[in-house]
Amino acid sequence: MSAPRLQAQGLRMAFGGLKVTDDVSLSLAPGARTALIGPNGAGKTTLVNLLSGALRPQSGAVFLDGVPVTRLSQDTRVRAGLVRTFQISRLFREMTVLDNVRTAVLHRRGLAARVFQRGAQAQSVLDDTHAALGALGLERIARRIVGTLALGEQRLVEIALALAMRPRALLLDEPAAGVPQSESGRIFDAIEQLPADLAILLIEHDMDLVFRFARHIVVLAAGALLVEGAPAAIAANDQVKQIYFGRTTHASH
């Protein structure tokens, strides 16, 4: 049996006396479509920070395809194929969509410092750039300045940047945050077109989008894993309904 694409084992993190991540383990197989949800203060952001390398756990480990990455920096994890949106997607608002995505391709290839590439190399970078744009239907706005785009379109560009890094595991950190409901469906249409073998962990407050996307849901409460399972089982779980759905229809940090 092959190793999980992304795995966390016994992650613990406390700030002062407050346990924000309390012995959390999770596993994503290649092609996983997993959503991470939980009520206010559940520890979702901290867990994603631990997975991506923004924080180092006080105990526990993170593995990518069976290889420990717990001590690696965020940038090294990105290069290894563990990519988080918003972590690497600080958009250059004054640049075009094409140039933003091309910058991500150059970064992945270690060519960011080289302003000029040889012909074949430059064409190869451009091919990768257009592949990421095409995967998200962004070719039509490739020459637009990012700062002039609607927020929903900017979110798609951020996902294109992540895709340009050729991730093996992708942490989608609230991709529809701040996006009008009329535009959020387009974002999830694009997410559904991402490579089938890419393991995706989605953190999202909109429960309609969560249940549309997820084949597996992980529920955090007070820093610990409360329950996980198929969407139908989570929706029917009494504990989840009591502490989460019973209070609000939306999860938040």
Q: How do residues 168-225 score in pLDDT, each as one tens digit?
A: 999 998 888 888 888 888 888 899 889 999 999 999 888 888 999 999 999 999 999 9
Angle (CA) 163-37-75 rounded to 5° is: 35
Average pLDDT (69-80) is 94
> Residue 94 pairs with which residues in a beta bridge?
none
Structure token pair of residue 212? 């549309």
Spatial CA neighbour of 82 closest among 16, 155, 172: 172
Write down the pTM of the prediction.
0.88
On the question of pLDDT at 81 being above 70, the answer is yes
| Lowest mean pLDDT across 86-95, 118-127, 136-145, 156-165 | 86-95
Q: Alpha helices of 81-146 — where are they, by DSSP H? A: 97-109, 119-135
**DSSP per residue over 180-219, as a string?**
-HHHHHHHHHHHTTS-TT-EEEEE-SBHHHHHHH-SEEEE
Angle (CA) 237-241-243 rounded to 5° is: 120
| Lowest mean pLDDT across 70-74, 88-92, 192-196 | 88-92
State the pLDDT at residue 39. 86
Average pLDDT (64-72) is 96
State the pLDDT at residue 250. 45
Rg over CA atoms, the chain: 18
Can you list the domains of the chain with their CATH numbers? 13-88+167-253 (3.40.50.300), 89-164 (no CATH)
Question: What mean pLDDT value characterizes the chain?
Answer: 88
Confirm if 129 and 101 have CB atoms less than 8 A apart: yes
